[in-house]
Amino acid sequence: MPEKAPESVITILLVDDSVPTRENIKKLLSFERDLKVVGMAGTGIEGIALARELKPDIIIMDINMPDMDGLEATTKIVDSAPSTGIIILSAQDDSNYMRRSMLAGAKAFLTKPSSPDEIYNTVRAVHKRAPVLQPSMGELNRPVDPTRTGAGHIVVVYSPQGGAGCTTIATNLAAGLMRDGVRVLLVDGNLQFGDVGVFLNLKPQSTILELVEDVEDLDTDYFENSLAAHNSGLKVLMGPQRPEEAEKAMVDPLVVSKIINKVRWNYDFIVVDTSLHLDEMTLSLFDIATRIVLVSTPTLASVKNIRSVLDLFDQLHYPHEKITMILNRVSKDPHIKKLLLSSEQISNFLKRKVEMSIPADDMVVLEAVRKGIPVVSSQRDRTKSPIKELLEFANFIYAALVPEPVEKAPSQPIKKVTSKLEWGRS
Ligand SMILES: Nc1ncnc2c1ncn2[C@@H]1O[C@H](COP(=O)(O)OP(=O)(O)O)[C@@H](O)[C@H]1O
Ligand SMILES: [Mg+2]
């Protein structure tokens, strides 16, 4: 019979086909008073059965096991016991495994061997995550400065595929949302290899690293001083300058979400660029997002990855309207076009509307990057592709998030839109 644990104790089920590994982890966990192993299983199928019976807070799951692997078992447990947090402990330190684990519904990914502290901290963090990231975000939702109330929309731009144009879309969305009286902040949420600085030619005096220590009592002025300002007036919170510095910021995977929540009501829109890693940091950004923009390209590989991400969003019970699909790098060459998926095909396959297709135009996009300005403000002719589509997309997001006044106003001029926002606030 399983032993009963007192309530303040985190109950853990170990699923691993190697007996020595299980015994080792059990022993490690026994040193901590708040952690208790309540059961052990040697196969995926046994793991599912025990998860159902014991309803542990946490499962530490191996990937390679006889009968059913840990990823499949994870998917099944997430469906039947969604309150259990699953941590994958894999022998392979492979980002592909990590992504697949997260897509299966795991909350964290560790590689063997992990240090005792890594295991303890991860178990506690995953256990804590559920209540911390409820939509209300409780304490975290308190505005820094209650006298400044923006609309507080958080738009997270994500692509599971590198090079699809996540940073391009995020940067241009932020720039395209700017208008008189509307406060927009762009956050580089790709801490390790963020490109926002390159795209906008910004050399930051300070970055997110300066905020990490003070995140609990962040001061508005201090925060504003940590931002880089682009010539266009766009404010940017930059990531660390060097990849190895990212680790300092990522000690707390919720740090970017916490910062954003603190300053949220100082802005009307906070646009967040993300890395393709579905780690806890990116997941926490999804949780706090008002809207997630999913960027795909018209290739089979890209669309297949998007499909997995949409499955994940379903598992997280995100409402349909929280997600907007955008297709980038759509070739204008009819010969190439024939080899790629059409927007309709993608729509049918994903059962989701593709809100906008952005044409590929190397000249315009590269020229903008070279000049360090957003594509949407790089040329005078705003009817030219892909400027036109990028602006249309920003207007779409704006209209979708900012409530219309009672009498239906046609979608257009800057002045009118501004007053709409004021109206929404009063
Ligand atoms: N619509 C487009 N047409 C042409 N080139 C594009 C387009 N969108 C993005 N690019 C280019 O593709 C590369 C990858 O884009 P980026 O935004 O950095 O993608 P990600 O952030 O998803 O890795 C960049 O060199 C960018 O200039
Ligand atoms: Mg990028």
Mutate to test the pocket of ligand 1, among 158, 168, 198 (most ligand atoms within 8 A of CB): 168
In this prediction, residue 402 carries a pLDDT of 86
In this prediction, residue 180 carries a pLDDT of 86
- Give 94 Cα–ligand 1 centroid separation in angstroms: 25
Query: Which residues line ion ligand 2, judged by CB < 5 Å?
Result: 166-167, 195
pLDDT-based confidence at 354, cuts 50/70/90?
very high
In the chain, which residues fall in CATH 3.40.50.300? 144-425
- Give the ligand with the smallest distance to the CA of 158: 1
Q: Is the CB of 367 under 6 A from ligand 1?
A: no
Closest ligand 1 atom, CA of 169?
17
- Specify the higher pLDDT residue, 309 or 419: 309
> Coil, strand, or helix at residue 226?
coil
Q: Is the CB of 362 under 6 A from ligand 1?
A: yes
How many whole angstroms separate alpha carbon 375 and alpha carbon 378? 5
In this prediction, residue 243 carries a pLDDT of 83
- Give 143 Cα–ligand 2 centroid separation in angstroms: 29
Closest ligand 1 atom, CA of 161?
22
Burial of 228 from C-beta contacts in 10 A (0-12 / 13-18 / 19+) = buried
Region 347-376: mean pLDDT is 96
Q: Is the CB of 361 under 6 A from ligand 1?
A: yes
In this prediction, residue 164 carries a pLDDT of 97
Contact predicate 373/232, CB 8 Å: yes
Q: Which CATH architecture has domain 144-425?
A: 3-Layer(aba) Sandwich (3.40)
CATH superfamily of 10-132: Response regulator (3.40.50.2300)
In this prediction, residue 342 carries a pLDDT of 95
> Coil, strand, or helix at residue 300?
helix
What's the pLDDT tens digit per position in 115-133?
Answer: 898 899 889 888 876 433 3
Closest ligand 1 atom, CA of 295?
22
What's the pLDDT tens digit per position in 48-95?
Answer: 999 999 999 999 999 999 889 999 999 999 888 878 999 999 887 776
What's the pLDDT tens digit per position in 9-24?
Answer: 999 999 999 999 999 9
Q: What's the chain's average pLDDT?
A: 86
Mutate to test the pocket of ligand 1, among 365, 391, 392 (most ligand atoms within 8 A of CB): 365
How many whole angstroms separate alpha carbon 404 and alpha carbon 399? 8
Closest CA to 259 of 293, 320, 231, 217: 217
Q: Is the CB of 279 under 6 A from ligand 1?
A: no
- Report the predicted TM-score, pTM, of the whole model to 2 decimal places: 0.68
Compute CA distances 408 → 153, 398, 412, 423, whole Å. 22, 15, 12, 13
In the chain, which residues fall in CATH 3.40.50.2300? 10-132
In this prediction, residue 5 carries a pLDDT of 52
| Whether residue 219 has pLDDT greater than 90 | no
In this prediction, residue 315 carries a pLDDT of 86
Contacts for 262 with CB less than 8 Å, ≥ 6 apart: 140, 142, 143, 144, 215, 218, 223
* Residues across the chain: 426
- Specify the higher pLDDT residue, 243 or 272: 272
- Give 273 Cα–ligand 2 centroid separation in angstroms: 7
pLDDT-based confidence at 103, cuts 50/70/90?
confident
What's the pLDDT tens digit per position in 305-321?
Answer: 999 999 999 888 889 99
Q: Is the CB of 138 under 6 A from ligand 1?
A: no
Contact predicate 15/59, CB 8 Å: yes
- Give 276 Cα–ligand 1 centroid separation in angstroms: 14
Contact predicate 186/171, CB 8 Å: yes
Residue 279 structure tokens? 């780690």
What's the pLDDT tens digit per position in 148-206?
Answer: 567 889 999 999 999 999 999 999 999 999 998 899 999 999 998 899 999 999 987 78
Q: Is the CB of 326 under 6 A from ligand 1?
A: no
In this prediction, residue 423 carries a pLDDT of 35
What ranges in 251-321 are assigned the alpha helix state H?
A: 255-263, 280-288, 300-315
- Specify the higher pLDDT residue, 264 or 140: 264
